[in-house]
Structure 1
């Protein structure tokens, strides 16, 4: 058994769990998505069409477009049963369509909101300003639009009630937006009037709320602690297995030695001894008689091997007669 632990895989698993926790906590409180507004602007002339949709937000369908008009919260559609899907406003009116819009699903998930302003019939100027927040460093162009304009005109632009410039093309451009550009903007056209004010939101570098950061850190520490405990358990099992293998190896190495030692010691048999003795006796002209010890009982035979006794009878030498 081998314990192989990849540090990179462990770290990737920990980071993956942290991302899941962060997304889960985010979805349970406040999603970062926005309703899709077509066209992408905050201000509209009366009777203009507007489409507000939440479909596909965070990869999900079945959202309801909600709106808050003069403090009254209701679905964008006429009934709750038909409120899922896009909200199509064919003819926009100030009293029924100017307000705040957002997406909801199941009462748990809620998107960020956008503001829509519909002018009345007496207004002939609107400011085309992005409905979504812009990111620092991006290029933003604000357009002062005149109703039913057939010729060029000059427009003046204001931020928080203070003039920030004029343009003969009706456009004012900020090549590099910063947080300081955030504020209320409006424009005016000579002999046409003034647009409503709308807020330009500028996003800086995203920050993590303290409670969410605390949750992520606690979860990460818990996951890391579990990983360390699993590593220690694996190392312990590995050492225990190695000790078991080492013990079996030592027993196996000792058993054949004892067997070989016992097998190497064999007493000489009588069959090997007799021929050698007889051969010597023949050379000396000696005669041997084989005397066999009486057979022992089974019990004695188990304790003592067969013993053979030899007596030497010397052959008389040939003596010449006198």
Structure 2
């Protein structure tokens, strides 16, 4: 079949246009996020507040509006964007490494392990004054990766075994987290932790942006550097080794990268599922399987998805903010079922 008149995603003009459109969509989503809430702020006033703070202009919205936009909503939207971008990137990496469409940090237990580590630091005081919340989450994520690897190896290896091991590891770490909360936390701490574990952006501020943004950008840079290796893994580890990919080193680097990125985001916003599962599949449908295009597409689409999910969490129920994990699950669970059904048909 001839496709001479069909647009090609590998043409530079089309790729530049898609990149510009994606950035514009992300900016629009962030603009919607900073203008939406219990107090409705016009988009022009929100942009004026941001310009006043950054460029020293004098659009002069009210001080209340400026404070809400800059001190609360903008930082929240930026952390949401970084979180969505990072989780989607993790999903794209894990799906390539494991050659399994169901792989993502939540399914593989990485998010559950990070939650356990964060809760251990927050409630039990694990690590004393030396270990931070992010550090505890990272150790928990590494422990989850190690446990899943041991379980999968004991079960004979294979990507299907890794997914099953991830489900088992996730349940174990969730049980440990629940034990810590029920035995060591006060009633107030238990309510706060359980709400946080469902995903909450309510407490994020600018210091969280200064951590989340470098993690997202650095993670993308490392993943993009290994884009060709990820393409090679699509044919299996043996084929990747035959193509000159140092399989052991690349796997160690990328598994460590996903653990660090997922742990950082969990320490800030809690355990949020389905983003790393749904977004890479949507990006793959739009730009194809090549990771030179898939990784940036997943990054931007994940950011847009999470920002819009945060907006929905604030307006879905009047006078109440839902945990953002509830919103992502409402979208992700049907998508998860569709992917399972499609995988069954292709098997």
Q: Which TM class, normalised by the smaller chain length? A: under 0.3
Greater strand percent: which structure? 1
Greater helix percent: which structure? 2
Q: TM-score normalised to the size of structure 1?
A: 0.23
Relative contact order, higher structure (CA 8 A, sep 6+): 2
Q: TM-score normalised to the size of structure 2?
A: 0.22
